[in-house]
Each structure stands twice: as structure tokens, then as C-alpha cells.
């Protein structure tokens, strides 16, 4: 074999991969793991570990696999061959039948792994982190926080849980000592709409809050999504409760609204994340509670370690006497993620 021909074969093998084009023109190369329930799972090397991207079929213009896979649709035969999609139809080199590019089409690789026959399993992803922070507002000084998060997903829904402990000092005085434990549940969006429920419980000694709790449920809207990120809004009903250590200060118990904004965007080497929650009381428009965090996650690759640079805010429309409304923390956070 000629050296040039051999080099051509080597180069062709190096770049071989499944390909996908979105309706907005975004072109992706990777490995299509499967198609089920109107979602395509694409694994892309170097985009934040081994978690596959889940892309709605409605946002895909075309795709093609580089090797034989198994393909089927509603009441259709199982075809073995290279699969492709174009013009709203999905086809295979294994037969002449084509299938609609919708929630009825299935694509899988292993003979015993057809999505309709596999019992759904919850895939868990965990992360632990530790950060150094500077604080201003209700709590002055510098300190640290430590956290743990878990996220479990199926094709139908997502469960999340987290714990975060914050400590900060100013001179010889403890200026921040708070704990938040959160739990969340959401259904995976059917195009745009999904349902969610969440709870945030803990304490905040810097604000003289012995116990706090926000419990909420409502409707989520996925305003934008593609292979690199999403933009969600939430609106629901909530109940907010706080018990104070300040002598003579009555507890707060009020029905409220729950408004939220969630944004994520991948850039390969980095990821931008923003979470904003607003809980205004129905009893008083001035009595509201805001939690916000924005971070840039960098040095991400196939390994478990990454670094976050960010800011978080805790704002209360009616703080206790002698307290300021806004508490801000700037952090540098080391993150270790695993499955």
C-alpha cells in the first residue's frame, strides 16, 4: 500500500464520528448513543466529562451515524445499518422503510438495549466542592464554604439534592454561619413545559435566623435549549417560614409566589451557570426573599476536577432591625465530580 493511501486511511479513521446539525446551523461531531422519547443522546469528547448531551429531535435538522446501529419506529421493523435523518424522516441502510422524526422513533446500539424494552434507571452524578470566599453585607470578612450535590436523571424526570455549609470570620468574630439543604424534582420538558417542586431548609446565624424553610411547586418553561445549554423560567406557589433568635421578634410564616430563572451555557473549555430565585410574599410586596448565584466553571475536561469563579447574593426586602438587606459572597471553588 502506498504511504499516501495509508496516511489517508489513518486520517479518515481519526476523524470518523457521528455527525449532527441543528436547525440553527450548529454542527456537532461525536457518538450518538441512542434516540428515545423524542430525545437524541450525543456524547461529545471534551465537553464537561462523559455525560451525554440530550437534544430534542424537534431541534435537529439532520444526523448520520458513522457505523451500523439499530433503528425502528411506530409498528416498524428493526433495521440494522448506518442511520441518518433528513427532512423530518429517519432511514437506515438496513432497509427501505423510513420513520417519522418524532417521539416514536428509536435508535440504539446493543441488541438487548432497545429503549422501549429497557427498564428506566436513574443515572446519578455527584459533586463535592470547597471554596474560599470574601463576604460583604450582613456578614463581613473572609471564610469558606463546603458543599455536596447529587443529580439523578431518567428519561422522564430529574431529582436533585444539595447541602452547603458556610463559615466566615471578621477578626476574632464569626461573621457567617449558615446551612442550606435543598431538594428538587422536575419532569423532563415535553418541548417547552415541565413541572417542578423544591424545598430549601436550614439556618442563617449571621441574620439571627434559627430555622428557615421555603417550599414551592409550580410550572417550568424551557424558553431555549440546544446542544450547549438552556434557559428556563419557573413560576409557582410557595410557603416561606423563618424563626428568629432575636428576642421579641415574631416568626415569619407567609404564603408566597415562587419565581425562578435558570441559565446554563457550554463553551467547551468553560461553562456559565446562573440560578436566580425570587420569593415575594402575598401579604406584603416589600417582604421578599432573593437567592442568586452565577459562576464560570473553567479547567473542565474529561477528568473529575474543575474550578468555579463566581458570586452569590442573599437579599431580603425586610431585614431584621439593625441588619442590611444584601449579603454578597465572592468565591473561588474547587469542584470534584463523579458518577
Domains and CATH numbers, the chain: 3-117 (no CATH), 123-338 (2.40.128.130)
- Note the pLDDT tens digit of each residue in 205-224: 888 999 999 999 999 999 98
Q: Quick check: pTM over 0.85?
A: no
Alpha-carbon gap, residue 31 to 14, rounded angstroms: 13
Alpha-carbon gap, residue 334 to 129, rounded angstroms: 5
Alpha-carbon gap, residue 48 to 70, rounded angstroms: 28
Q: Write the Ramachandran bin of 29: left for phi over 0, alpha for psi from -120 to 50, otherwise beta.
A: beta
Per-residue pLDDT of the chain (339 residues; tens, 9 = 90+): 444 444 444 344 445 689 999 999 999 999 999 999 889 999 887 665 556 888 999 999 999 999 999 999 876 788 999 999 999 999 999 988 899 999 899 999 988 788 877 766 788 999 999 999 888 776 577 889 999 999 998 878 899 999 999 988 877 776 778 999 999 999 987 778 999 999 999 999 888 999 999 999 999 999 988 778 899 999 999 999 999 998 889 999 999 999 999 999 988 778 999 999 999 999 998 899 999 999 999 977 667 899 999 999 999 999 988 888 898 999 999 999 988
Q: Which residues pair with 230 in a beta bridge?
A: 225, 264
C-alpha distances out from residue 139 to 128, 161, 216, 287, 302, Å: 24, 26, 27, 21, 37
Alpha-carbon gap, residue 263 to 271, rounded angstroms: 10
Q: Write the Ramachandran bin of 37: left for phi over 0, alpha for psi from -120 to 50, otherwise beta.
A: left
Alpha-carbon gap, residue 309 to 296, rounded angstroms: 5
> DSSP 3-state assignment of 160?
strand
Alpha-carbon gap, residue 220 to 234, rounded angstroms: 4
Amino acid at each position: 500500500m502506498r504511504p499516501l493511501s495509508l496516511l489517508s486511511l489513518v486520517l479518515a479513521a481519526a476523524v470518523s464520528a457521528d455527525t449532527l446539525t441543528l436547525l440553527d446551523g450548529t454542527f456537532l461531531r461525536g457518538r450518538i448513543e441512542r434516540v428515545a422519547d423524542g430525545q437524541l443522546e450525543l456524547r461529545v469528547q471534551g465537553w464537561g466529562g462523559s455525560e451525554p448531551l440530550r437534544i430534542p429531535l424537534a431541534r435537529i435538522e439532520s444526523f448520520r451515524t458513522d457505523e451500523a446501529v439499530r433503528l425502528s419506529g411506530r409498528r416498524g421493523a428493526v433495521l440494522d445499518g448506518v442511520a441518518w435523518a433528513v427532512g423530518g424522516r429517519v432511514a437506515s441502510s438496513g432497509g427501505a422503510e423510513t420513520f417519522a422524526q418524532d417521539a416514536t422513533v428509536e435508535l440504539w446500539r446493543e441488541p438487548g438495549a432497545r429503549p422501549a424494552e429497557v427498564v428506566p434507571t436513574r443515572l446519578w452524578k455527584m459533586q463535592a466542592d470547597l471554596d474560599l470566599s470574601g463576604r460583604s453585607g450582613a456578614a463581613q470578612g473572609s471564610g469558606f464554604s463546603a458543599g455536596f450535590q447529587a443529580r439523578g436523571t431518567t428519561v422522564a424526570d430529574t431529582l436533585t439534592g444539595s447541602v452547603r455549609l458556610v463559615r466566615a470570620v471578621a477578626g476574632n468574630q464569626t461573621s457567617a454561619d449558615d446551612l442550606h439543604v435543598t431538594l428538587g424534582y422536575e419532569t423532563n420538558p415535553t418541548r417547552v413545559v415541565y413541572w417542578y417542586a423544591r424545598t430549601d431548609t436550614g439556618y442563617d446565624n449571621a441574620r439571627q435566623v434559627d430555622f428557615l424553610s421555603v417550599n414551592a411547586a409550580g410550572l417550568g418553561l424551557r424558553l431555549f435549549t440546544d446542544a450547549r445549554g438552556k434557559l428556563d423560567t419557573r413560576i409557582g406557589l410557595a410557603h416561606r417560614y423563618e424563626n428568629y433568635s432575636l428576642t421579641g421578634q415574631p416568626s415569619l410564616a407567609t404564603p408566597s409566589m415562587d419565581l425562578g430563572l435558570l441559565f446554563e451555557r457550554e463553551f467547551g473549555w468553560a461553562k456559565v451557570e446562573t440560578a436566580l430565585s425570587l420569593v415575594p410574599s402575598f401579604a406584603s410586596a416589600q417582604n421578599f426573599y432573593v437567592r442568586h448565584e452565577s459562576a464560570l466553571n473553567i479547567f473542565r475536561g474529561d477528568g473529575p476536577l474543575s474550578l468555579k469563579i463566581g458570586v452569590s447574593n442573599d437579599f431580603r426586602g425586610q431585614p431584621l432591625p439593625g441588619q442590611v438587606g444584601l449579603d454578597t459572597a465572592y468565591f473561588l471553588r474547587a469542584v470534584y465530580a463523579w458518577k
